[in-house]
Structure 1
Amino acid sequence: MPGIFISYRRQDSAGWAGHLTDRLKEQFGADNIFMDIEAIEAGVDFVEAINTAVSSCQVLLAIIGPQWLTLTDPRGRRRLDIPEDFIRLEIAAALNRNVRVVPVLVGGAEMPKPEELPEDIRPLTRRQAQELTDSRWDYDVEQLIKTLCKVLGIPFRKDEPHPQPQPSPSPTPPLPTPEKKESFFSSRKIIGGAAVLFILTMIGLCSQQRPTPPIQSVTPAPEPVRPAVANVAGRWSSPDGKTYLIVQTGNQIALSVIINNQVTEVQAQGTINGNVMELRWQSMHGHWGSMVLTVSSDGRTVNGNINNDTIRQTYPLVLSR
């Protein structure tokens, strides 16, 4: 099967690209997904390496995050304006070789305008984009996968829940052996009938003498009150001078750690319940982990821990706004 090439900037959309890649590998297989062309060996012509990698694929997904258009290099040049920029080379190679290019918008990003792009990748603005929102991630990714299946000419496979085993029916008990019929006027049935009549009469007399207890109404227990979700949207600061930008939609949280006012160092997604945030994050350096943060009662500070699963260490975190 022809492969899928994922073009993304680590400083802009590493977290979203990583989650999307995991889902695509489940659907199409790990051998058919190509990313991280930046890991080119020393001495290899990187332009030729990119052209070869892109040519082996039928689809290129251009992951566009909030800073995809504006990120700069250490010298202050916009990366897209640099002819040797990897992202520019990847997209230009796909457009020139008639590879299907699908812009994928993440983190609330919008499609760039033609005048904002270099001439060799300006046709990207005429391609229909697919938006992946944090609030309905699974649904949006499924729609993208269906589109890719049509392009690649393969059936869409959706994992169905396994049916629960049903208990086997109990065996039917054998029918009782019919007894030999006796005459209704036999002495045995007359005596039995009289005994039953006597028992029923005594029960009736007892029920008349014993008062019926009053019916007591049962009040249902009140449902537990769920705590209100704290509002954490906005810009936060840490003692080391980093900016934490939080986007909140209901109880869904998207967090970005920005350094030097332009470079996204960490991206995280998760939820907030009451005043407790639980998120999974990925850094531009390829590290993964989780964080649990608690919002103060006045909503002005956040305290918690950051767990780095890559190196198995935990760090305290304090934010304020």
Structure 2
Amino acid sequence: MPEIFINYRTGDCEQAAVTIEHDLSRRFGRERVFRASKSIRPGDNFRDGLSAASSGSRVLLALIGPNWLTARDHNGNLALANENDWTRVEILNAMRSGARIIPILCGRTMPRLSAASMPSALARLADLQSLRYDTGNAEADLNRLAAELVDFVPGLVDRTAEQTEEPSGVVNSNSGTVHGSLTQLRDQYGGFTATFHGPTGPVSTGSGDQQVVYGDGNAYIDGKNSDGINQSFGTKREPEEDR
């Protein structure tokens, strides 16, 4: 069962619903995000599908645009006042199941909901903290929404998140079989290139502030070097000497 249900009204926030669903599906997987026209297969009973998904989701995103409150049904009555209105039914299903409901205000100037302007059954929506989705700030708004969902849904992982690692202060490299350690570089500011020409050297490095300290298989560079470094790694051990 999809953990995230996207609730919206036809004719209000439809494009936003598509954009948000595509972004969340890309991050979390298509099977974890429900949007009716994508998730209900041809020939399936849409009533059963909507009821099951809205009741079984962990988070319902209620997309609210300029026509959400004022939309009318085919009889000319206020749509939200109709007990069979699917936008209303889906929200109430999520409320009864204990799902987290997040109002998404679509547009930069869309005001917060007012309890007085809604049917009493939906009035509690006005007290729920909302998020905003604005096409002019789409990337930041989608990132914020995704981050919140990761916190709310156990096991949800944003697979598009960049994996960044702090650079290490020491770089260790081995060329061929080297007994002992070779420390190339500690703090680097700018580019650094090292070329190894066999286990006994020479080692050619690029220019920069480098200092050369010689030892058995150990080079610490901090000063200027333009002519290269010739290194020796000591006497090669025979296999039986290894411990």
Range of TM-score over shorter length? 0.5 to 0.7
Residues 95 and 121 in structure 1, CA contact (< 8 A), matched pair in contact too = no
Q: How is 1:198-217 mapped onto 2 (pairs within 5 angstroms)?
A: none
One-letter code aligned to 2:35? M
Residues 36 and 50 in structure 2, CA contact (< 8 A), matched pair in contact too = no
Q: Which residue of 2 aligns with 1:53?
A: 53
Residues 60 and 102 in structure 1, CA contact (< 8 A), matched pair in contact too = yes
User: How far is 1:156 from its partner?
Assistant: 4.4
Q: How is 1:152-171 mapped onto 2 (pairs within 5 angstroms)?
A: 152-154=153-155, 155-160=157-162
User: How far is 1:150 from its partner?
Assistant: 0.5
User: How far is 1:74 from its partner?
Assistant: 3.6
Q: RMSD of the TM alignment (CA)? A: 3.2
**In 2: Cα distance, 1:18 partner to 1:167 partner:** 47
User: How far is 1:115 from its partner?
Assistant: 1.7
> Which digits, 9 at most, give the CA deviation of each residue in 1:272-316, with x for residues without a partner?
xxxxxxxxxxxxxxxxxxxxxxxxxxxxxxxxxxxxxxxxxxxxx
> Which digits, 9 at most, give the CA deviation of each residue in 1:134-173, with x for residues without a partner?
22211111111111000012444444399xxx99867779
User: How far is 1:124 from its partner?
Assistant: 1.3
User: How far is 1:40 from its partner?
Assistant: 8.6
Q: How is 1:97-246 mapped onto 2 (pairs within 5 angstroms)?
A: 97-107=97-107, 108-154=109-155, 155-160=157-162
**In 2: Cα distance, 1:20 partner to 1:26 partner:** 10
| Matched residue count | 172
> Which digits, 9 at most, give the CA deviation of each residue in 1:232-268, with x for residues without a partner?
xxxxxxxxxxxxxxxxxxxxxxxxxxxxxxxxxxxxx
Instruction: From the superposition, tell whether residues 42 and 24 of structure 1 become closer, same or farther in structure 2 (CA, over 3 Å).
Output: closer
Q: Which residue of 1 aligns with 2:85?
A: 85
Query: Where does the alignment leave 5 or more consecutive residues of structure 2 unmatched?
Result: 165-190, 203-243
**In 1: Cα distance, 2:2 partner to 2:36 partner:** 18
Alignment identity in percent?
Answer: 27
Q: Which residue of 2 aligns with 1:35?
A: 35
User: How far is 1:49 from its partner?
Assistant: 4.3
Normalising by structure 2, we get a TM-score of: 0.60
One-letter code aligned to 2:119? P
**In 1: Cα distance, 2:19 partner to 2:144 partner:** 15
User: How far is 1:19 from its partner?
Assistant: 0.8
Q: Which residue of 2 aligns with 1:289?
A: none
> Which digits, 9 at most, give the CA deviation of each residue in 1:203-241, with x for residues without a partner?
xxxxxxxxxxxxxxxxxxxxxxxxxxxxxxxxxxxxxxx
Instruction: From the superposition, tell whether residues 123 and 42 of structure 1 become closer, same or farther in structure 2 (CA, over 3 Å).
Output: farther
Residues 55 and 90 in structure 2, CA contact (< 8 A), matched pair in contact too = no
Determine helix, strand or coil for the equivalent of 2:76: coil
**In 2: Cα distance, 1:29 partner to 1:43 partner:** 22
> Which digits, 9 at most, give the CA deviation of each residue in 1:5-43, with x for residues without a partner?
000123011111111111100111001111117969889
- Greater CA deviation, 7-16 or 116-125? 116-125
**In 2: Cα distance, 1:101 partner to 1:69 partner:** 17
Determine helix, strand or coil for the equivalent of 2:136: coil
